[in-house]
Chains A and B, each alone.
Chain A
Amino acid sequence: MKNKLKWLVIGSMVLPSLLLSGCGGGAKPAANKEANGGANSNGGEVQNITVWEMYGPRRDFPKIIEEFNKTHPNIKVKDEYFPSHDALLQKVQVISSSNQKKPDAILYDMINVPITKELLPLEDLNTFIKNDSSFDINDFYPAFKDFGNLDGKQYSLHGYANNIVLFYNKKAFKEAGLDPEKPPQTWDELVEDAKKLTKDGQWGLQIDGITEKYFELLSWDFQSLVEENGGEIWNKDYTKPAFNSPQGVEALQFLVDLVNKHKVTTLNPPEKVFETGKAAMYITGTWMTKDYEDSLGKENLGAAFLPKKVQYATNIGGEEWMMVKSNDKEEQATWEFLKYMMSKDVQLQISKFGYIPTRKSVVNSPEYQAWIKEHPAYEVGAKQMEYGKYRAPITTYLQNSQALYKYVQQALYGKITPKEALDTAEKEVTDILATKK
């Protein structure tokens, strides 16, 4: 009994301290120790860095990291993957208010850069770019360095890009008597072809935002439609919404008509509608290229620009790398890692999943040119970049997007008219901008 009691006393003293150390305070020394690292086989010090990422071409990331760790014996990268941009932003929000060690590098949707800059102390990448002759910032397409350039500082750089394209099933085109090399180029042609492609068990056209629960998809599909119609989403300095214009209403009406009037699009698509051949055309991002090629076969997968009404337009996406401030040594190691992740080799590897390289030297390389010649569906997104638009680089982007999503969806389901939807959305977005300046 006495012996048992002794163990109980010890247990009850140890357990709380274990528990407490698990909750914040005590974790700090451990993290510091890890950051300082141990010695490697070459005798030099190993610098540990932590990466939080929502890396699109997921399947290749462990391989790429392994390669980096092998070629950089003085740096050890610890990879922490998040299943969605939302989940990563949640973690960034939480850590911004805690004393815990922050990650060294973050990669996620470019649209989160402005808010992340508010939350975490981000390093100005220019301090490294200037002193590093092995890294040429001018090799990036202007658009990809401009987005992360806020108040004269380079807070982020595009790791890889994507945009929305029109995928189509060449086999379905042939069956409907359409030329598989001539995808629709205008809204009218889109409706016309979609009608011919719609039959029992097959929908003419599906749009990812209708199917997916993530609000951002429908919101950015709609934004592209407005721009295709010659409308704007915001005023010049992003202080006022501009989507509630005749062009905007017409764009939403077009989307609603696809479902209700032309009946070529369904609000109730089965799971994996395009992969299983139940939709002949599908509007979504280039990140799906590899998946679609795998399920439909290379010869059946076609891709085209988003059809225009007034002009070609598409929404640009992609993930941006950010560096969180730490100490010189740690930042230097992080920079080596970022440089590697944006290098020609890695970008080439990523492009084979349908992502668009952000550096001119990659696009112009013989390897990339040979790849797109062999796989024409991968080239469309890259070519379409020149018509691409950016989403608003403002901290409240996601709230505004949620509002837009909510009312666009209500219009799609016929609860309100497109005009009512955009009136309400405009009012809500104006409120969001006013309260969260």
Chain B
Amino acid sequence: MMTTGSRFRLSTKETISGYLFITPSMILFFVFILIPFFYSFYLSLHKWQGGKIGNMAYAGFSQYSKALQSPEFWHSIVTTGYYTFTTVILQIVFGLILAILLNQKMIGRTFLRTAYFVPVVMSTIVVGIIWRWIFSPDKIGLLNSFLGFFHIQPIHWLTDPYWSMPAIIIMSTWKWVGYHMVIFLAGLQDIPQELYESASIEGANGWQKFRYITLPMLTKTTWFLVITSIINSFQVFDQIYVMTGGGPLDATNVIVYYIYKWAFQFYDMGYASAVAWLLFLVIFVITLLQLRFTRSDWHA
């Protein structure tokens, strides 16, 4: 809200009611986000002494150096990077293709848009259990019996260290592509029709219109999706928890699952908090870099 000029200044009464309106959400924010946020930093400076989870001693930054020296930690970073890089590209490419297709005038457009969006609102746990069956390694698995039509041997999706991550990526792409589609659709509808009309008059073909009008006009939308989906992908957990449990052979042991294991299977909250803060730093730096690189584009 603008506060320049006395005409816009709020009366005291309105100020009070304004604060009252935000009180409930601020309390929730403090209790469930801000306090745990700083408390986890406090925990990350401590070392678990065994027994009760609260049984900790001050350990300075030793938990951080323990993480940085742990091959398992670096492995989980690499795994997360693999997941993020692949998923983000696939989600954006397929989301864009779907959006362009469903932006055409066609019968059943609303139904299809809804259908593609349904997985987004479904619980990941439910979706994960369904996909476990789809990925069943024998010929009874839906995906394998489909591949069987093309004479492809059954793939051991979730139990083969080589295939388990691609399986998770396929499932995540399927689940989130609808979200990307909807955002792209909004972006597409913001592009003025005049641009296409004048391009047609100039004699541009379909590809040229896409390359020189649609894509540049979607830059903002695309960057928004890239940033948010990188942040989301870095925090992937539910799928892994339901479908592979980080295995086989740690092939899907992503960073958040690694944190979960240390916090809730080994009960070492100090170490888990330290790794969580390292994850926070990584995401923070990535976001800063992205903002820096994209700012100039936005004003172009």
Residues of A participating in the B interface, judged by any CB pair closer than 8 Å: 5, 8-9, 11-12, 15-16, 19, 23, 86, 90, 93-94, 96-97, 118-119, 213, 267-271, 278, 395-396, 398-399, 402, 409-410, 413, 415, 435-437
In this complex, what residue of A is CB-closest to B50?
A436
- Please name the 4 residue pairs, one residue from A and one from B, whose CB atoms are nearest each other, closest first: A268-B156, A213-B245, A270-B138, A97-B54
- Contacting pair A268 B267 (CB below 8 A): no
Tell me which of A5, A15, A97, A398 contacts B53 (CB under 8 A).
Answer: A97
- Expressed in whole angstroms, the minimum distance between the Cβ of A220 and any Cβ of chain B is 17
Contact with A along B237-261 (1 / 0, CB 8 A): 0000000110111000000000000
| Chain A contacts for B133, CB-based, 8 A | 271
- Contacting pair B159 A268 (CB below 8 A): yes
- Expressed in whole angstroms, the minimum distance between the Cβ of A37 and any Cβ of chain B is 30
- Contacting pair B249 A415 (CB below 8 A): yes
Q: CA–CA, A23 to B32, complex, Å?
A: 11
Contact with A along B112-149 (1 / 0, CB 8 A): 00000000000000000000110011101100000000
Known: A15-B27, A271-B133. A93 touches B138 (CB 8 A): no
- Contacting pair A8 B52 (CB below 8 A): no
Known: A86-B265, A93-B267. A409 touches B28 (CB 8 A): no
- Contacting pair B52 A96 (CB below 8 A): yes
Q: CA–CA, A93 to B140, complex, Å?
A: 41
14 more A-B residue pairs beyond the given contacts A119-B51, A413-B248, A415-B249, with a C-beta to C-beta distance below 8 A: A12-B23, A16-B24, A19-B28, A93-B267, A94-B53, A96-B52, A97-B53, A213-B244, A267-B248, A269-B137, A269-B159, A270-B140, A395-B50, A435-B50
Q: CA–CA, A12 to B53, complex, Å?
A: 35
Is chain B's binding surface mostly helix, strand, loop or mixed? loop
A-B contacts, 5 of them at CB < 8 A, read: A93-B53, A119-B51, A213-B245, A268-B160, A413-B249
- Contacting pair A395 B51 (CB below 8 A): yes
In this complex, what residue of B is CB-closest to A437?
B50
| Chain A contacts for B161, CB-based, 8 A | 413
| Chain B contacts for A395, CB-based, 8 A | 50-51
Interface residues of B in 19-68 (CB under 8 A from A): 20-21, 23-24, 27-28, 31, 50-54
| Chain B contacts for A19, CB-based, 8 A | 27-28, 31
- Contacting pair A16 B140 (CB below 8 A): no
- Contacting pair A8 B249 (CB below 8 A): no
Q: CA–CA, A270 to B52, complex, Å?
A: 39
- Interface residue? B110 (CB, 8 A): no
Interface centre among A268, A269, A278, A436 (most CB of B within 10 A): A268
In this complex, what residue of B is CB-closest to A268?
B156
- Expressed in whole angstroms, the minimum distance between the Cβ of A202 and any Cβ of chain B is 11
Contact with A along B71-115 (1 / 0, CB 8 A): 000000000000000000000000000000000000000000000
In this complex, what residue of A is CB-closest to B267?
A93
In this complex, what residue of B is CB-closest to A276?
B140
- Contacting pair B21 A8 (CB below 8 A): yes
- Interface residue? B266 (CB, 8 A): yes
- Contacting pair A12 B248 (CB below 8 A): no
In this complex, what residue of B is CB-closest to A19?
B27
- Interface residue? B224 (CB, 8 A): no
| Chain A contacts for B193, CB-based, 8 A | none
- Contacting pair A96 B24 (CB below 8 A): no
| Chain B contacts for A410, CB-based, 8 A | 249
- Expressed in whole angstroms, the minimum distance between the Cβ of B237 and any Cβ of chain A is 15
- Interface residue? B284 (CB, 8 A): no
- Interface residue? B17 (CB, 8 A): yes
- Interface residue? B210 (CB, 8 A): no
| Chain A contacts for B13, CB-based, 8 A | 5
- Contacting pair B249 A267 (CB below 8 A): no
Q: CA–CA, A97 to B55, complex, Å?
A: 9
